[in-house]
Structure 1
Amino acid sequence: MTRARCGIIGFAVCLAAIIVAAPVLGHTETGGAGGFSSGFLHPVLGPDHVIAMIAVGLWGVFLGAPAIWVLPIVFPLIMALGGAFGMIEVPLPAVETGIALSAVVLGICVALALKPPLWAAALIVGIFAVFHGYAHGTEMPVASDAVSYALGFVVATGLLHLCGIAFGGLAKWPVGRIAVRTAGVLIAFAGGAFLTGMA
């Protein structure tokens, strides 16, 4: 089996795992109502979150090691902090705009295969992670256990990053590189659509 097929299969497996896990977690009867399952489903069911999370993984692939692992670690950690701010209702303006812009900016970074220094890439990812986490935190169901809910959205985010990394593996070949950069263009356009939809 070629590496290109392995990348496509890996991406498909990641997406299938997320899709299959959603209904399974939706029917768990352990923990508080809206705990881990609600936290897990929140980013997975939000297309604006999904495309940005996948873009982080795709961009990490273009940046190579160590960014391929640093970015998907930085994002969930900072996102959890943003989630805590959302849960305790610390004011943060333009959250939805920040989320939409994350898709635009990260999509452009992938489309252009930009390679800034690691610290700059981590800073960009970290800034946008605050907005995503804040949205998750403010939308936590009232009956939720905050820790379980946060763990849910962090795990789901990590899986979406892995989907991006799996698909980004195609960038090792010229045709795959075009496919990955095209995905970046589509992500940026989708983010733009979210932005214009808010106007």
Structure 2
Amino acid sequence: MNLRNLTTLAAVVATVPGQALAHTGGDHVHGAASGFLHPFSGLDHLVAMVAVGLIAARLGGPALWRLPLAFVSAMVFGAVMAKTGMNMPLTETAILASVIAFGATLIVNANVPVTLVVAGTAAFAFFHGFAHGVEGSAAAPFGYVLGFVCGTAILHAIGIAARWALLRYSGVATAALRIVGTLVTGVGIGLAYLA
């Protein structure tokens, strides 16, 4: 898939919440819009989700779809568990740890087995989803989940597109990823310090 196709896909995914909202009532509208905006509203979520896209594109092959799919699936599961009333201590700590870990993965730039990366990504995504579920709309849970799934998919696509754009400058692509990884890790450490 080239950059143009990925951009088109991201645009289509971005319209899904709007299309879903066009046929529903007020509570559902609030739920889907709120869910869609949630990944963009917290720096920890935003940075982690873009980093997952960058890592998926860097690893390539099956990781290109397995990593985002694992993240979204585990995130939805985490949100469902939150809606059941489950108590999950250290959720915010795990989210900040995910930001630091994803940044470190970009810095190291090692060829880690895809299965290990997918498992780690899913484990961290569960906590992101749990936080979404705790903070989500009780009035329209399906719309809210659909919204944050679409928002997350867009952030993953942005990360993938950014990595592919960097490949045009092969001499600096690895160094650029390490710089981005350092920034991502710095955001995680900074947010942990402020927490």
1:160 to 155, 163, 167: 155
CA deviations over 1:147-192 (Å, ceiling 9, x no partner): 1111111111011000000111144312133222211110011011
- Say whether 1:191 aligns with 2:191: no
Q: Is the 8 A contact 1:62 1:171 kept in 2?
A: no
SS at match of 2:112: coil
CA contact 1:51–1:103 (8 Å) conserved in 2:
yes
* Preserved CA contact (<8 Å) 1:62 1:115: no
Match of 1:79 in 2: 75
| Counterparts of residues 84-163 of structure 1 (less than 5 Å) | 84-143=80-139, 145-163=140-158
Out of 161, 175, 188, the position equivalent to 2:172 is 175
Which one has the bigger helix percentage? 2
Q: CA–CA distance in 1 between the matches of 2:189 and 2:52?
A: 17
Q: Report the Cα offset of residue 108 of structure 1.
A: 0.6
Q: Which runs of 5+ in 1 are unaligned?
A: none
Calculate the TM-score normalised by the size of structure 1: 0.83
Query: 2:57 maps to what in 1?
Result: 61
1:28–1:37 CA contact under 8 A, matched in 2: no
Q: Alpha-carbon deviation of 1:46?
A: 1.1
User: Displacement, 1:28?
Assistant: 7.1
1:44 counterpart = 2:40: yes
Aligned equivalents of 1:136 and 1:158: distance in 2? 15
Deviation per CA, 1:114-138: give whole Å up to 9, x if none: 2211110001100100100000000
**Structure-2 separation of matches of 1:135 and 1:189:** 21
Counterpart residue type for residue 193 of structure 1 = G
Give the Cα–Cα distance (whole angstroms) in 2 for the partners of residues 119 and 146 of structure 1: 31
Q: For the residues of structure 1 that align with 2:138 and 2:22, how far apart are their CA atoms?
A: 18
How many residues end up aligned between the 2 structures?
184
Contact kept in structure 2, 1:43 and 1:153, CA below 8 Å? yes
CA deviation after TM superposition for structure 1 residue 142, in Å = 3.3
- Aligned amino acid, residue 147 of structure 1: F
TM-score, structure 2 as length reference: 0.85
Distance 1:99 1:138 in 2: 14
| Conserved? CA contact 1:167–1:180, under 8 Å | no
Instruction: State the distance in 2 between where 1:50 and 1:82 align.
Output: 17
Runs (5+) with no aligned partner, structure 2:
none
Q: Work out the CA distance in 2 between the residues paired with 1:182 and 1:158.
A: 23
Pairing 1:2-17 to 2, within 5 Å after superposition: none
